[in-house]
Amino acid sequence: MTTPFTDDEVALIRAVTPGCTDELVHLNHAGSSLPPQVVLDTQIEHLRREASRGGYEAARDVAADEVAVYTSIATMLGAHPREIARTEHATAAWNAAFWSIPMRAGQRIITHDHDYGANWVAFLRAVEVRGVKIDQIPSDPDGQIDLDRLAAALARPDEVAVVSLAWIPTSGGLVNPAAAVGELTERASVPFLLDACQAVGQIDIDVASIGCDFLAATGRKFLRGPRGTGFLYARDSVIERITPAQPDHHGAEWVALDRYEFVDGARRFEYWEFDHAAWLGLGAAVDHAIGLGIERIESTIRQRAEELRSGLREVGLRVHDQGVDRCGIVTATHPTASASEIATMFSAEQINVSTTHVNSARADMESRGMLSMVRLSVHCTTTAAEIERTIDVLRTL
């Protein structure tokens, strides 16, 4: 594992992050992280440009900068810029991919206990309108997707429409073995849709090594970009085998009164209108993360998360994170106080945390007999002193 940032390096990263103050402890990076100053400056600069020049004119001024964002994202993923599509959030990216995949009545959607609530709603809708079935793969004893059960489910690949996996679920620190899943889906020639909403920005990613056909992500979480931004990676080899469900005249060219043609690459999933300032801000966030070194970000996050888990256990909380591999999301419950009570108490002490509820991860949480958990999530900006302050608050219970 790459060496984590030193305390001095963390202090430098915090110094260029306006939200990092002595008063506030932000442990909600899995919800929405604290952006660096360069992201804020980039957005504000373009908003001022729009206000003084006009929206269309401002967009023309930064056309080359907007194209460069695709290159930055592709560099981060080990992809090609033509394989990246701009979206307004991870759900839009995921839905664009999911509803483009051909599905026949009777085919199966293979998923895992830990898939996200929004994705499950799409599965259920596909059951209604496409006549498919949901094949829910359980977890192995460590809590990650059972690879043996997945391999068995892929034994008849013609019966499978897609494999959907949440790489890092919303309901805990589990990191699913995405590359092992990709090896199985590639062998079976079955589309693999990877929800990387919580992974991008905190894990070093190489889509070629993973073997996914689609990867959906957001900007606001560990990537430390603006809210209202996201992107979709769509592998070149799958592009011509899918059909975007709701194209417009940006993703498809209206070539004749009775005919349209999709544009090349993943941008066929895009719409003409978007938040230009936010997209530029996302590019700034990606470049900032690459400049810091995502491998070192990952190493620092993992170190801080383990420190937090240890502290929570020390004061009597039960940590619920599963998996052989764990990340910067930490979930826990208190013996007597509810998750919402804990979150309210933290808020009064200017400590930002979140709660995870069953409606976001029903297949997982119901199987574990839980309705809600406190969710704390660290980043490379998190200090040991902030973790100790958080634990001290819990000691008062």
Q: What is the pLDDT of residues 191-239, one digit of tens each?
A: 999 999 999 999 999 999 999 999 999 999 999 999 999 999 999 999 9
Domain boundary among 290, 305, 332: 290
For residue 199, the model assigns a pLDDT of 98
Task: Express each pLDDT in 172-188 by its tens digit.
Answer: 999 999 999 999 999 99
Same domain, 283 and 370: no
User: Which band of pLDDT confidence, cut at 50, 70 and 90, is reported for residue 141?
Assistant: very high
User: What tokens appear for 25 in the block?
Assistant: 């402890």
Domain residues for the domain of 348 are 7-34+294-395
Closest CA to 317 of 298, 336, 334, 297: 334
For residues 373 and 191, give the distance between their C-alpha atoms in angstroms, rounded to a whole number: 33
- Residue 274 dihedral angles phi and psi, to the nearest 5°: -160, 170
The radius of gyration of the chain from alpha carbons, rounded to an integer in Å, stands at: 21
For residue 397, the model assigns a pLDDT of 83
The total number of structural domains in the chain stands at 2
Same domain, 331 and 224: no
For residue 57, the model assigns a pLDDT of 98
Same domain, 225 and 349: no
Q: Is the pLDDT of residue 370 over 90?
A: no
User: Which band of pLDDT confidence, cut at 50, 70 and 90, is reported for residue 359?
Assistant: confident
Q: For residue 1, is it within any domain?
A: no
Tokens 């400590």 correspond to 351
Write out the E strands in the chain: 25-26, 84-87, 108-112, 133-137, 160-166, 192-195, 214-218, 230-234, 252-256, 259-262, 318-319, 329-333, 351-352, 354-357, 372-377
- What mean pLDDT is predicted for residues 147-175? 97
Mean pLDDT, the chain, rounded, equals: 97
What pTM value is reported for the model?
0.97
- What mean pLDDT is predicted for residues 106-134? 97
* Residue 353 CB burial class (10 angstroms; 0-12, 13-18, ≥19): buried
137, 112 Cβ separation under 8 angstroms? yes
User: What tokens appear for 187 in the block?
Assistant: 């062998």
